[in-house]
Structure 1
Amino acid sequence: MQSSQNPVFRRLGALCVAAVLAGCAAGTAPPADSGGSPAGALTIKRDSYGVPHVYANDTRGLFHGFGYAVAEDRLFQMEMARRAVLGTVSEVMGPDYVALDKGSRSGFTPASIRAQLAKLPADDAAIFAGYAAGFNARVREVLADKSKWMPKQFIDAGFEPKADWTDYDVAMVWIGTMANRFSNASSEIANLRLLNQLKQARGDVVGKQLFDQILWLEDPLAPTTVPRTTKLAAQADSPTRGEAQMARLGQVSPEVLVAMNDVDAARRGVVPTETRPTASNLWIAGPSKTTDGSTVFINGPQFGWVNPSYVFAVGLHGAGFDVTGNTPFAHPVVLFGTNGKISWGATAGPQDVNDIYQEKLNPANPHEYLFNGQMRKMGQRTEVIKVKGAPDVSLDVYSTVHGLVTSFDVPNNAAYSMRRSWDGLELESMVAWIRSMQAQNWTDWLAQARRVAITINWYYADTDGNIGYVSPARLPIRPASQDVRLPAIGDGSMEWAGFRPFSDVPQVLNPAQGYISNWNNQPAPGSTGDGNNYGAVDRVNEFNRRFEAKPRLTPDEVWRLNYDTAFADTNARYFISFINEATKDLPPGDPVRQAAQTLARWNMLDEDTRDTGRYEGAAATIMREWLPIMYRKLLQADLPPALLPAYSNPGYANADTVGSIRPGNGSKLLYNALLGSRAGVPQTIDFFHGADKNAMIRSAMSDALAQLTTRFGADQSKWLTPVTRHTFLPKNFIGAPQAGPDETLTLPTYMNRGTQNHKAVLTKQGVTLCTVAPPGQSGFIAPDGRKSGHYADQMQLYKDFGCKPEWLTPAALDANLESTKVLKY
């Protein structure tokens, strides 16, 4: 069934659009007031969905109210977030979380964060201090009346919150859940291991050719958010880049990758780096792309799905702020929202802001390394982890001139350390994000982007019809000889020569195509990294192809992209035409040709519109069966057996999926092989080895049909794949409990969409905003088990692709008011 004919979507999609266009208070909001609060007081007004709007006259009061409201709704979640990023989960949850705490504590330098806090200007410092004071004020109220206000999760876990939050804690929640989570990645050691394995299996020359064909740097066919017609500065490439580096890099012990993956899994609560699903999407239709001349801005940050919601909705009004929207882990900044003049959003940053350095160790002392011709002693600090019901655990954290040591490979006389371009600039980046909420135009907004050192994608729209994108980051100037896919040599010969100017980061204002889209694809031509592997196969094409299918879209059609991409088979569009070409000359009754025709009739959406528990039609099942068979047939002659599993998973959601999905790793290699000489990545190695590609496609389909017949029987109408349910876990992204073990929630069908969605419609008359962020605004459960009325009141809205209006003026809020509270501070 085509999504445009889905009655549920048609009804609630229209409801969302109608709510935004008619129900929200349109127009640029007047200057915010203090909500009628006297001096030294603040007002918190909550709307009918429990969203708090804080009114105050000064910065400290405004963020005091923010922190207080967060503690009302998310006290246990935020307590566990703080413990997760600081590495103190074991103190209250026991030995099972020691590995998590070790991973957290080895990922930052406390002294650096405290020094950055000490340097903040007074008004910026008031943000952190006010938030902490407001949070503590609510904790004191809870402790004074535990029988009424103590969240049940604390009672069940056997500990109580403390009113001891500081500015450091507020900063660290942001650093741990945003900066360290999204700007701390590197695949360089895994890439070196891959290169070693390929060379060992196929020899140095062929092994290197395979490496370049599997893990390329630039594919000119890859879709980019900054259109390829836009020229940006890039570091010059060289045909000899990396040769000397490769010759000097040693082997990597398999145990190093196992240990790194274990730490990473503990730190992030998910799966190893090379198989982890990632992250967010964004699409903006500018005035030239919509039928009514409006700008439609939709963001779906994909943090995974948890209970309580990963994001927190809030309005902040006063002290120069007048913003409404959602933000992860109740950070003291609205990451997805509007101030009535501009709207903004974000997706995960793609820039290469880190380098792993391979340090040569002193054979007589593994804590000494070679740098500039001399052995140096590593820096060291010792962390003591308190463990509930068990002895304390000691952890030594080491560092080199390049940064924190991530792993030791003693058998190969090496250690690896990570240099991060943003070290020491975490709070500068955070404050810039906060101040960007006050921007009134592109110039003001871009000025804040210049201050951001971490890697992030930022998006912009305003009531004048402008749309824009920038991918801020502090980009190193690397040696011309460095291959960024691999670890750098740590002896002093491959040091950075400074940082590139802001003009080098990807950015565009009002692209000629009239829209901006991103689903963690390549930001701009030439913008690559150590593990991105951007190629022609990319899920952002699910947006681009739909945008390009019509000259203009209605606002309803722009919103409906959310539905279409949430259920899109992210592999199918690349292969169905090849399958049909390979089977067109078969007899009409041939099962392989019939399967190809079934695929050709398919809308390439994995839907279950009637909640039957099975995807509709056999096509989804056929594609899922054929694809991994085709991967194996294509690659088994060239890849060592140990590497085949990494390219055999087609990437579909399953019972263990806790985040977003994308095309399988093998799909990029298969599509390039099918394109042959037309591929953007040179096919130096012919994976078909001269064989007829059409014959291989038919053979793989024949095998797939035989397996499906064995599993389901001969009746193809029964070849229906069970749906994957959409699950909201009671653990946060780092793997720490943030709700009770009985608080897992589910929806019938997995949706590959944002953890939240916010939609802003901008015209000359102003901005309207709607959002949806399941399960609900509040995670509060009273001691007697009673849940807040807003505990899960956005689940059905999310399921049906609806969204709730956000009130952008005091009058609109008062017309939809649930409660008012005045606090002194």
Structure 2
Amino acid sequence: MRCRRPVARAAAICAAALLALSANAAAKDYAGTALNIIPSGQWGSAGAPPAASEQAEMYDGLTPLFDQVGAADLRRFFKPQTFGTRGQCPCTVERVPRRGVRIVRDRYNVPHITGRNRLDLDWAAGWVLATDRALLMSLGRYPARFAALDAPGVDAFSLVTSLSSVQVTAQADRIIEREQTRALRARGREGRALLRDIDEYVKGINARLRHDGSTQAPWRRVDVYAINALAGQIFGQGGGDETRRSMLLDGLTRKLGAAAGRRVFDDLSQRVDDDTSVTIGKRFPYGAVPKRAPGSAVVDNGSMSPTALAATANATVAHRDMSNFLIVSGRRSTNGHPLFVAGPQIGYFYPGLTLEMDLRAPGIQARGAAMPGGAGNLLIGRGPDFAWSLTSAGSDTNDQFVETLCGGSDAKYLYRGRCRRMGFVDAGTIVGRGAVKYRTTVHGPVLGYATVKGRRVAISFQRSSRGKDILWQLAFKRFTDGRVTGVRSFFAAAATSPFTFNVGYADDRDIAMYSTGLLPIRDRRTDPRLPTIGTGRYEWKGWLPARAHPQVVNPRSGQLVNWNNKPAAGFPSADDNWSQGSTQRNQMLEAGLKQRSKHDLASVTAAMNAAATQDLRVQGTLLDGIGAVLAGSPAPSARSQQLLDLLVRWRAAGASRLDRDLDGLIDAGPAAAIVDELYPRIADKVFESLLGADLTAQLTSLTGRTNGPASGFTGGRINYLDKDLRALTGTRFRSPLGTRFCGSGDLAACRASIWQAFEEAGAALAAARGSEDPAQWTSDATRERIRFAPGLLPTTIRYTNRPSGIQQVITFTGHRRIRR
């Protein structure tokens, strides 16, 4: 159809015809089943309407089913993720001030957007964002600048969730806009196309803000850039904690001697542990630790300035690793096609950090979760014949550099043979906390100061994705625009991401995974676990090529399972991740899939749902190690033996922390409370016997003290405990520890210390519960209920550890003619 220059009525007829053509041009939907859930829902206003909790309640309805999920349950507790509104009404048409755009809201308030072209979709996505997430946008756009700049000591996301007020400077905006726009333009035609998307997206946001009479300043490119940087800071980076780790090495060698101290450090870092669970069995080596590392420094223990210590600790806390996917191949599926159950765990918030969109224009048909700053692209979702999802990989993208100070000044440093003056950034002000100002070197922001062999040095922070955050959207643009037509184009799209994620993929016959990120090739004379000497002799040498990234198509196992575990064998853990060892929470997902040789969507969902409430400390192999150490020895008291027996019985029943009947108590009785009280006591005793109290506390500050619901069953020293206790009682490992921690390797001493932990835990619980009989104790489920931060949505739901940004349940039974 061709439209001439009409007026009024003719223009309306022309626009309607074009929209009809767009609808007719939509791709065929090849999904046999397509469902999803976003517990935070689509609404996002400060006064949450009654329907705002509908998806949260559906999400909560699945949890008590544990591993007994049937096909009918999928339809009850997930909603359709089909294209268009069929079966999802009553619907309403949203009036918008742009010809060629049509937005229809379904019964869940999800917008189904039709446009004449991609720019229409960009504009409409901006309009919808400002409609459904205006509050979140106003809270997040300015704190996000600090993430883009890597402002030391600032957790930008916590500023958003705490409703903090922030003022930013023109200098901050100039730096961000200059770097990010330059990165886009350097990508040629594709980068310039994304820049056009961003500009049109911003127009849509501002149109809605004007429509609502908002007092917000109009959005600009810099807001979009910054929001992407914030997402990357939370979910898309790893490493950058070398200085604190090196101080532990210094402390270990001072206490234990050089050889023993280094051996313990190697054990604790778990850089390449062949006993850890991986998603891809093929080896992908990267960044080996050299025998000698003259390019690395060991910082004197305890010498970091308080500001540097706080900045480093804060940066690692900002990383969140809480997503999973279970992807089953067609040969293990009852319908002969892959099964896809996947989603990001980004926490529980209202307004939600994601929102849903269904996008349609000629050549474009996609539906899924978008994010503020998405520029018309979907973060997680599906096309006509494929679906994708992400888990945080946490690969080593960040480094700390030790800068040699010169000229007797904290503001001058040595680089490539001459003294340079540090840069200075005034980023803004956090109301109630003060100004955010810092120095910079060629490597990045200066976190603070420390000493190396007694000499004062500066510690700076380098991030591979700094100034390139917006390039993250290139992959999502390809996904959304339908340019992914098979595994080969999927890999090419994923490889554009500067952030580090494991991207899972499925279509009607292939399953695949690619681990992304701009991964530095480091100088071979440096130890990736330690800070690098910043004089210019040991700089990064480029980036790991795409072919060397962990990736796989149709693995022999017939499944791809990832819960932020290591992506592939031989691939190293980042310096800030000391928890990729012998027991991992994804093993609970794998155990569920092992229950059947053939699966359907319900059984895969059941495996996910069961693991979401299981306690890794009991359901995993750690309890085997504890039991083996204690075997054959009498308990010091009947109560301690009863505590152990209760844990063993709980494990036989599935070790779930469920409260099915909503009486406020965990159904398993006292067992959950027992392990919560017992676990940190065992861990402390195991390490204190060799390291002493001070070094144990220092290790704990790096890895966390406990492993439980609050940490998503990550960290907390569990891998060291698991391997140490099982090795002490005869288990052989491919990567054995070089150190014996519990009882310094003496079984009798180890056994005595663990029984002592049982005694202390029993006494503490008896005092707290007012009863000496463990059978009378209970475990509080109410305190574990999930609340939507920051408190604008009063609804609470049962504890569960499952995807929250969106969870997709999908299988495809056909595909477009264009392939691979």
TM range (shorter): 0.7 to 0.9
Structure 2 equivalent of residue 345 of structure 1: 389
When residues 585 and 500 of structure 1 are mapped into structure 2, their CA distance, relative to the original with a 3 A threshold, is closer
Q: Given the superposition, is the C-alpha separation of residues 491 and 7 from structure 1 closer, same or farther in structure 2, using an over 3 Å criterion?
A: closer
Amino acid at match of 2:706: P
The one-letter code of the counterpart of 1:652 is: G
Question: 1:718 & 1:543 partners in 2: Cα distance?
Answer: 32
> In structure 2, which of residues 480, 495, 501 is the aligned counterpart of residue 456 of structure 1?
501
Match of 2:183 in 1: 116
- Give the direction of change, closer, same or farther, for the CA distance of 1:756–1:282 in structure 2 (3 Å limit): same
TM-score (norm 1): 0.78
**Partner of residue 49, structure 2:** none
Distance 1:107-1:8 versus aligned 2 partners, 3 A rule: farther
Q: Distance in 2 between matches of 1:106 and 1:197?
A: 42
Match of 2:216 among 147, 158, 161: 161
Structure 1 distance, partners of 2:173, 2:274, is: 38
Distance in 1 between the 2:695 and 2:165 partners?
31
Pair 1:755 & 2:813 matched:
no
- Alignment of 1:718 with 2:776, yes or no, is yes
TM-score (norm 2): 0.79
How far 1:97 sits from its partner (Å)?
4.8
Q: Does 1:577 align with 2:629?
A: no
- What's the counterpart of residue 83 of structure 1? 142
Q: Structure 2 CA distance, aligned partners of 1:462 and 1:367?
A: 55
Amino acid at match of 1:626: L
Residue 477 of structure 1 pairs with residue 521 of structure 2: yes
In the TM superposition, 1:117-266 aligns within 5 A as 117=184, 121=189, 122-143=192-213, 160-162=215-217, 164-178=218-232, 182-183=236-237, 185-227=239-281, 230-235=282-287, 237-238=289-290, 240-242=291-293, 244-245=294-295, 248-251=297-300, 253-256=302-305, 259-261=308-310, 265=314
1:187 positional shift = 1.4
Mapped to 2, the partners of 1:499 and 1:60 lie a distance apart of: 33
Answer yes or no: is the 8 Å Cα contact 2:499–2:516 preserved in 1: yes
Which residue of structure 2 lines up, in the alignment, with residue 508 of structure 1? 552
- The share of aligned pairs that are identical, in percent, is 23
In 1: Cα distance, 2:604 partner to 2:707 partner: 26
CA drift of 1:413 comes to 2.2
Pairs within 5 Å for 1:607-686: 607-616=658-667, 617-645=669-697, 646=700, 649-653=705-709, 657=710, 661-676=712-727, 678-686=732-740
Q: Indicate yes or no: 2:471 matched with 1:425.
A: no
Once the two structures are overlaid, the 10-residue window that deviates more, 320-329 or 253-262, is 253-262
Which range moves more in the overlay, 255-264 or 635-644? 255-264
Cα distance in 1 for partners of 2:288, 2:311 equals 37
Letter in 1 for 2:810: V
* Aligned AA (2:660): T
Counterpart mapping for 1:284-433 below 5 A: 284-318=327-361, 320-329=363-372, 331-332=374-375, 333-385=377-429, 395-409=436-450, 412-433=455-476
1:386 CA displacement: 8.4
Are the structure 2 counterparts of residues 428 and 579 from structure 1 closer, same or farther at C-alpha, using a change threshold of 3 Å?
A: closer
Per the alignment, in what secondary structure is the counterpart of residue 324 of structure 1?
Answer: strand
Secondary structure of the corresponding residue to residue 717 of structure 2: helix
Q: 1:179 to 1:489 in 2, by over 3 A?
A: same
Partner of 2:53: none
Q: Is the 8 A contact 2:81 2:367 kept in 1?
A: no
Distance in 1 separating the partners of 2:234 and 2:323: 17
Structure 1 position 522, deviation (Å):
0.8
Secondary structure of 1:754's counterpart equals coil
CA contact (8 A) 1:323 1:339 kept: yes
Bigger mean CA offset, 521-530 vs 619-628: 619-628
- Comparing 63-72 with 633-642, greater Cα deviation is found at 633-642
For the residues of structure 2 that align with 1:7 and 1:641, how far apart are their CA atoms? 41
The alignment status of 1:548 with 2:594, answered yes or no, reads yes
Q: Which has the higher contact order (CA 8 A, sep 6+)?
A: 1
Task: Report SS of the residue matched to 2:212.
Answer: helix
User: CA offsets per residue over residues 729-753 of structure 1, 9 Å max, x none?
Assistant: 544xxxxxxxxxx625352532222
SS in 1 for 2:400: strand
Work out whether residues 443 and 462 of structure 2, in 8 Å CA contact, stay in contact via their aligned partners in 1: yes
Aligned-partner residue type, residue 401 of structure 1: V
Check 1:21–1:301 CA distance in 2 against 1; reply closer, same or farther (3 A cut): closer
The one-letter amino acid paired with 1:173 is I
Q: Distance in 2 between matches of 1:597 and 1:245?
A: 52
TM-fit CA distance, 1:209: 2.2
- Count the aligned residue pairs: 712
In 2: Cα distance, 1:131 partner to 1:312 partner: 15
User: Structure 2: where are the runs of 5+ without partners?
Assistant: 1-59, 87-92, 148-155
Structural mapping, 1:51-70, within 5 Å: 51-70=110-129
Q: Is the 8 A contact 1:62 1:319 kept in 2?
A: no
Deviation, 1:194, is 1.4
- Cα deviation per residue 1:588-629 (whole Å; 9 max; x = unaligned)? 995444433322222211111111212122222222233222
Q: 1:280 to 1:380 in 2, by over 3 A?
A: same
Question: Are the counterparts in 2 of residues 114 and 168 from structure 1 also a CA contact under 8 Å?
Answer: no
Distance 1:717 1:275 in 2: 40
1:50 CA drift (Å): 0.5
**CA–CA separation in structure 2 for the residues paired with 1:720 and 1:362:** 62
Match of 2:611 in 1: 565
User: What secondary structure, in the 3-state scheme, does the structure 2 residue paired with 1:599 have?
Assistant: helix
Deviations 1:760-793 (A, max 9, x none): 32232479xxxxxxxxxxxxxxxxxxxxxxxxxx
Return closer, same or farther for 1:714/1:100 CA change in 2, 3 Å cut-off. farther
Say if 1:279 and 1:520, in contact at 8 Å, map to a contact too. Answer: yes
Which is worse superposed, 205-214 or 501-510? Answer: 205-214
**CA separation of 1:695/1:11 partners in 2, compared to 1, >3 Å: closer, same or farther?**
closer
Q: SS of 1:298's equivalent?
A: strand
Q: Distance in 2 between matches of 1:315 and 1:571?
A: 41
Q: Structure 2 CA distance, aligned partners of 1:387 and 1:710? A: 43
Q: C-alpha displacement at 1:685, in angstroms? A: 2.6
TM-superposed CA distance for 1:140, in Å, is 0.7
Counterpart code for 2:178: A
CA shift digits 1:707-738 (9 cap, x unpaired) = 3333331333322121233344544xxxxxxx
Matched residue SS, 2:690: coil
1:601 equivalenced with 2:649 (yes/no): yes
| CA distance, structure 1, for counterparts of residue 559 and residue 173 of structure 2 | 41
Is the CA contact 1:634–1:670 (under 8 Å) kept in the aligned structure 2?
A: yes
Alignment RMSD, CA only? 3.8
Checking the alignment, whether the CA contact within 8 Å between 1:226 and 1:506 is kept in structure 2 is yes
Alignment match of 1:704 (pick from 724, 743, 761): 761
Query: 1:472 Cα shift?
Result: 1.5
Judged with a 3 Å threshold, the aligned counterparts in structure 2 of structure 1 residues 591 and 648 are, in CA distance, closer, same or farther, namely farther
Of 286-295 and 584-593, deviating more is 584-593
Deviations 1:552-602 (A, max 9, x none): 233212112232122110211223223444555467995444433322222
- Output the amino acid matched with 1:632: D
Counterpart for residue 27 of structure 2: none
1:435 Cα deviation from its structure 2 partner:
1.4
Please tell me the residue identity of whatever aligns with 1:142: D
What is the CA–CA distance in structure 1 between the aligned matches of 2:435 and 2:761, rounded to whole Å?
53
Q: Is the contact made by 2:405 and 2:457 (CA closer than 8 Å) also made in structure 1?
A: yes
Q: Secondary structure at the match of 1:365?
A: coil
- The question of whether the paired residues in 1 share the 8 Å contact of 2:323 and 2:345 is answered with yes
How far does the alpha carbon of each residue in 1:427-484 deviate from its partner, in whole angstroms, 9 at most, with x for none? 3332233213321211112111222222121111002x21000002222222222111
